[in-house]
Amino acid sequence: MAKRGKKYRKVVQKVDKAREYKLSEALSLIKNLSYSKFPGTIELHISINIPKDKDPKSIKGSVALPHAKAKKVRVAVAVPPELEEKAKEAGADIYKLDDLIKQVQEGKINFDVLIAVPQAMPKLAPLGKVLGPRGLMPNPKSGTVTDVNNLKKTIEEFKKGKLVFKADSAGGIHVPVGKITDKPEDVIENIKAVISAIVSIMGRSKDYLIKRIYLAPTMGPALRVDVKDI
């Protein structure tokens, strides 16, 4: 394990690793644990029970945070040529399928989210080895595969900060839920939205599904949160 820096060792002394913090208490303390020179992000780390019939990598979804921070999200849309103008009018930054495919093949990823209509998925399939590891391959579970009628709405949601999440091989899900400068009540609502989204896609109760929850600043130690307090 890499040796922790001096700043980390100093702030970690404020954490009682033997206890689970109430959510409001954790959010109050986390501001004092961040040692970045910029307003750090609050990261939510959730460990879930993986059902025996589930591959962890198949667990993925999306969530629109009620208090998402506005930022520029570059959206690419994969549609057949006859729908490119419709995608452009709907707000897509990249909408010409042949150009998109060529750029990805050349290793040029100039977008944050890739949305596709079902008709375009066969053309994207060969790009799976490039897009998949980056979490950019469109998937119905993450809301990035949509029909033409919902294309405009889907683009708008991701432009406003809708997040895609997925579980890692150990059943961990990691999502940014705010900044340390945000109002605690806003961050709490974001956290609850993420948990609701995970519970929804899994179809299991929160008490069964969630094993552990941690909150951590971008730079700083994590706090274990009492699952029952959320």
Could you tell me which of 114, 105, 101 has the C-alpha nearest to residue 75? 114
Q: Do residue 82 and residue 147 come from a single domain? A: yes
State whether 23 and 86 are in the same domain: no
Residues 149 and 83 in one domain: yes
Identify whether 3 is part of a domain.
no
Structurally, the chain folds into a number of domains equal to 2
CA angle 150, 63, 215 (to 5 degrees): 170
Q: What's the pLDDT band for 137 if we cut at 50, 70, 90?
A: very high
Domain hosting 92: range is 75-160
Residues 6+ apart with CB under 8 A from 96: 84
Residues 54 and 168 in one domain: yes
Query: Between 39 and 155, where is the model more confident?
Result: 155
Confidence band for 181, pLDDT divided at 50, 70 and 90? very high
Whether residue 122 is found in the same domain as residue 87 = yes
φ, ψ dihedrals at 96, nearest 5°: -90, 110
* Helix (H/G/I), strand (E/B), else coil: 59: coil
Strand partners, 216: 43
Residues 83 and 145 in one domain: yes
Domain end point (choices 115, 142, 160): 160
Give dist(CA 212, CA 224) in Å, integer: 7
The residue from 160, 175, 192 where one domain ends is 160
Question: Which among 160, 177, 204 is the end of a domain?
Answer: 160
Residue 134: per-residue pLDDT: 87
| Average pLDDT over the chain, rounded to an integer | 91
pLDDT in tens, 73-101: 899 999 999 999 999 999 999 999 999 99
Any domain includes 102: yes
pLDDT at 2: 56
pLDDT at residue 12 is higher than 60: yes
Task: Spell 50-86 as b/e; 16+ CB within 10 A means b.
Answer: beeeeebeebbbbbebebbeeeebebbbbbeeebbeb
List Cβ neighbours of 193 (8 Å cut-off, separation of 6 or more). Answer: 63, 64, 65, 66
C-alpha–C-alpha distance, residues 160 and 68, integer Å: 7
Residue type, 89: E
CATH number of the domain where residue 184 is located:
3.30.190.20
Same domain, 37 and 145: no
**Co-location of 83 and 156 in the same domain:** yes
Question: N- to C-terminal Cα distance for the chain?
Answer: 32
What pLDDT is stored for residue 1 in this prediction?
43
